[in-house]
């Protein structure tokens, strides 16, 4: 299978995208972990995307994509499918624009994420995790809604790329970037920024590593096969990292930069959540804690200054209490 042809994203594209996000998304802090720096002998920072207004990085991509729709298309109403964080982002941005939003969610989505979507005024349609894309297509056909895909969309990828744009502005020495992988929007945006920096003459060789649950190792399978590989739905602590496969568009960016995917057990993921809370006082959901979890598990050994992207903090309170006790 050949790679999907995708447009080049330049540093200027990402700078303009980051500027447009001002007043919607926040420039999240990049905080050094004294303990991880001590352990590895190189600075290790965490990028705190759980500080976004909706508690996750997804706001970057959702706003970028929706802001670039015509007013007429936005007025038709927006639809997406999501296990939670992208749905919250779409609901938040739709409310900002004063348009209707419909979120198709799995029936077993975390209640904290369901509540967040409802709080922003979106309509929710529940279905099975496996059927959510099909249900979305049916609603588009019946109601004329406009899809803002959770990851396989150039504008969404560009929005997510602003996260790494900020990291490299704050700490230009970062040579390793570690990101969670679900459908691949965040890591594709990370790769786009790394490629853009390289094209602009960046002298630092930067490595991007993806982290995913061992129960659904989609990126590892895609890298081995050379194309996205579908997986059946599974139950995992990292509920935000289990779409059917990495995206076709996202993989076209990922494959140009990423050569390593790290798979984590449920125990290892839980240890990441616990460490971030007890060591840094950070309340991060399991999906978002996976980059730090990979370091703690010894599955990634930094060879230079490292940034871990903590993608979100929308975690069920009872689950969080169990994980950190």
**CATH of region 11-56+153-324:** 3.40.50.1100
Its pTM stands at 0.95
Q: How many Cβ atoms are within 10 Å of 167's Cβ, its own excluded?
A: 21
Contacts 24+ apart (CB under 8 A), 106-109: 106/132, 106/233, 108/235, 109/83, 109/84, 109/239
CB contact at 8 A, 241 and 182: yes
CB contact at 8 A, 209 and 325: no
- What was the pLDDT predicted at 2? 42
The angle formed by the CA atoms of residues 304, 306 and 308, to the nearest 5 degrees, is 160
CATH 3.40.50.1100 intervals, the chain: 11-56+153-324, 59-147
Q: Would you give the DSSP letter of residue 241?
A: G
- What was the pLDDT predicted at 3? 55
pLDDT in tens, the chain (325 residues): 345 689 999 999 999 999 999 999 999 999 999 999 999 999 999 999 999 999 999 999 999 999 999 999 999 999 999 988 999 999 999 999 999 999 999 998 889 899 999 999 999 999 998 898 999 999 999 999 999 999 999 999 999 999 999 999 999 999 999 999 999 999 999 999 999 999 999 999 999 999 999 999 999 999 999 999 999 989 999 999 999 999 999 999 999 999 999 999 999 999 999 999 999 999 999 999 999 999 999 999 999 999 999 999 999 999 999 999 9
- What was the pLDDT predicted at 5? 80
CATH class of 59-147: alpha beta
**Strand bridging mode 306-310 / 176-180:** parallel
Task: Specify the length of the chain in residues.
Answer: 325
- What was the pLDDT predicted at 1? 36
Structure tokens at 301: 């050994």
Nearest to 53 by CA among 95, 11, 108, 14: 95
CA atoms within 13 A on the CB side of 56: 30
Distance CA 100, CA 309 (A): 31
What is the separation, in whole angstroms, between the first and last Cα of the chain? Answer: 47
């Amino acid at each position: 299978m050949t790679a999907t042809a995708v447009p080049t994203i330049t540093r200027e594209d990402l700078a303009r995208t980051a500027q447009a996000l001002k007043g919607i998304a926040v420039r999240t802090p990049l905080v050094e972990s004294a303990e991880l720096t001590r352990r590895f002998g190189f600075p290790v920072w965490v990028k705190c995307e759980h500080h976004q207004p909706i508690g996750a990085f997804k706001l970057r991509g959702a706003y970028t994509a929706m802001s670039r729709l015509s007013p007429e298309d936005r007025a038709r109403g927006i639809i997406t499918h999501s296990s939670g964080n992208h749905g919250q982002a779409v609901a938040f941005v739709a409310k900002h624009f004063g348009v209707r939003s419909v979120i198709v969610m799995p029936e077993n989505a975390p209640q904290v994420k369901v509540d967040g979507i409802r709080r922003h005024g979106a309509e929710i349609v529940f279905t099975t995790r496996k059927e959510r894309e099909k249900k979305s297509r049916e609603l588009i056909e019946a109601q004329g809604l406009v899809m803002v895909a959770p990851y396989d969309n150039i504008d969404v990828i560009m929005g997510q790329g602003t996260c790494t744009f900020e990291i490299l502005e704050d700490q230009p020495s970062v040579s390793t970037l570690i990101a969670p992988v679900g459908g691949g929007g965040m890591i594709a945006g990370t790769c786009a920024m790394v490629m853009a920096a390289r094209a602009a003459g960046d002298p630092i060789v930067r490595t991007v590593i993806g982290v995913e649950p061992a129960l659904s190792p989609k990126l590892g399978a895609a890298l081995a096969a050379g194309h996205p590989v579908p997986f059946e739905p599974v139950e995992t602590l990292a509920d935000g990292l289990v779409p059917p496969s990495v995206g076709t568009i996202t993989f076209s960016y990922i494959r140009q930069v990423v050569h390593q995917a790290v798979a984590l057990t449920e125990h290892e993921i839980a240890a990441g959540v616990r460490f971030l809370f007890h060591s840094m006082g950070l309340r991060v959901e399991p999906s978002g804690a996976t980059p730090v979890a990979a370091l703690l598990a010894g599955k990634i050994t930094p060879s230079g200054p490292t940034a871990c992207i903590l993608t979100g903090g929308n975690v069920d309170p009872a689950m969080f209490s169990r994980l950190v006790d």
